Structure 1
């Protein structure tokens, strides 16, 4: 365990609203997903950097025509707003100030709510447990720029589109998809030690998100990690099953 890192506190999230005539076109040139196919449910997606790594991990939905709601880790919200304003300086849309939104589990799915009744530690704990079990990772300021979208199986969750055209980091991401495959990728694991911090490296295994296994932190942890399968086999971690859609090979089907 790296003593310089502390287990992550319960995550907080904020929402930004993006509205205007050019909102769809602008977002299409930024996000990994196909914005024209968004609906009223939150879709996991990302904005990459020029190295093809996730700079902003988000959830997005189309609230109405020319109106999109974006949810992001609270410690990345101001950075996202600055990014949108910088790249969208000559586009016709407005970005709202970040406002709080609360993680919760509804109908057995991790989601978000504006209702104060969901602003509880119990709701956040349930969201974290459900999200980790389902591969619903979240990126914070600690893990910005650490992971490539395919490593996190974002393409298996509908959050990447390889046919929609250019977006930030697209050349690198597409090259990995069409010409190779990540050697390390997302796994759901259990461990018996103290809860590791986001971004912490357990040998050659990197933690994305982690939570105590139950109320007693001495009982170990559950986590989403990025690792090569052989490194997990050689570790003392127990590999758990992700949902069926995330069990497929991360490489492109030939």
Structure 2
């Protein structure tokens, strides 16, 4: 299996890439109260979604800090949450403790599996092997139960959710036709897209707006109450949030880690300014990361990872606009 360290940048991606998402969990929420229950837990408005549709969302604690960020996918008989495995050990007990009085079951999904497809020929492969029309939609639910979700920038890629039997058949075919990368590549693509998924190290530290989730249509400000809603609303209507998610890029002798400290060079001194949400390193010591920093960060500033001597980082533009809180 190939790794990100074998690339110098994402532009070198092979034509067709398979990414098994081995460090991600697929969480299943079933039962007749599943929509109402999650409506009171997540920042998104689930009542506006129909089977086959999806959205990003945060699950917050009562103080409005995000336990996790997940991609939420609506199926006919269940709701799936796709999130890093490390955060599930922290977040799932918090989600389950509110489920005691609702008719829902929350567990690791056993009937479906998730994987990523990327590269300039990924749409062609999906059209030929899965469904022609699916490549034209942001997300589509097929009669077989398969869900195909086109992912945002930086390059053509799809999140694929399939029932086990169909997935195993397709994966067998892909292993002969695609280059197989571990999910360090998927992480790098999420970073380039400015999408920050929470790991265990940063769980319950940041309100959703610090992760730019308002700019990614992951927060509803009109749906009513949910856990942490008062803090999220205060950040929007009272301007209480002074931080945001930024992309930084540069060089480092080693790959930064989630939770490490970002410092900025001010008057020839290094000052702590933020925290790494996710990071990656390519084969030539080039690094890219997502970090929560002050919203008024100067794009001309120079940064470093406190814990890594010799690291140097610079501002890189996000592929979207950060909406005003």
Q: TM-score range by the shorter chain?
A: 0.7 to 0.9
Q: How does 1:107-126 map to 2 (within 5 A)?
A: 107=123, 108-109=156-157, 111-113=159-161, 115=167, 117=171, 122-126=181-185
d(CA) in 2 for partners of 1:84 and 1:42?
A: 19
Q: How does 1:12-161 map to 2 (within 5 A)?
A: 12-39=23-50, 40-64=52-76, 66-99=77-110, 101-105=114-118, 107=123, 108-109=156-157, 111-113=159-161, 115=167, 117=171, 122-161=181-220
Shift of 1:82: 2.5
Shift of 1:231: 5.8
Residues 94 and 230 of structure 1: is their aligned pair in 2 closer, same or farther, counting only changes over 3 Å? closer
Gaps of 5+ in 2: 1-20, 124-155, 264-272, 304-312
Gaps of 5+ in 1: 1-9
Residues 57 and 72 of structure 1: is their aligned pair in 2 closer, same or farther, counting only changes over 3 Å? same
Q: TM-score, normalised by structure 1?
A: 0.82
Quote the residue 2:287 is aligned against: 221
Q: TM-score, normalised by structure 2?
A: 0.66
Quote the residue 2:140 is aligned against: none
d(CA) in 2 for partners of 1:241 and 1:112?
A: 28
Shift of 1:136: 1.7
Quote the residue 2:302 is aligned against: 235
d(CA) in 2 for partners of 1:79 and 1:104?
A: 28
d(CA) in 1 for partners of 2:222 and 2:299?
A: 33
Q: Note if contact 1:42-1:111 (Cα within 8 Å) is conserved in structure 2.
A: no
Listed one character per residue, the Cα deviations across residues 153-208 of structure 1 (whole Å, up to 9, x for unaligned) are 11111110001011111101101100115322111120222321111112213211
Listed one character per residue, the Cα deviations across residues 35-79 of structure 1 (whole Å, up to 9, x for unaligned) are 112342442111101221101221111111x52111121123244
Question: More displaced, 115-124 or 45-54?
Answer: 115-124
Q: How does 1:161-172 map to 2 (within 5 A)?
A: 161-172=220-231
Structure possessing the higher radius of gyration over alpha carbons? 2
d(CA) in 2 for partners of 1:247 and 1:182?
A: 16
Q: Note if contact 1:199-1:207 (Cα within 8 Å) is conserved in structure 2.
A: yes
- What CA RMSD, in Å, does the superposition of the two structures yield over aligned residues? 2.5
Residues 169 and 11 of structure 1: is their aligned pair in 2 closer, same or farther, counting only changes over 3 Å? farther
Quote the residue 2:245 is aligned against: 186
Number of aligned residues:
236
Q: Note if contact 1:187-1:226 (Cα within 8 Å) is conserved in structure 2.
A: yes
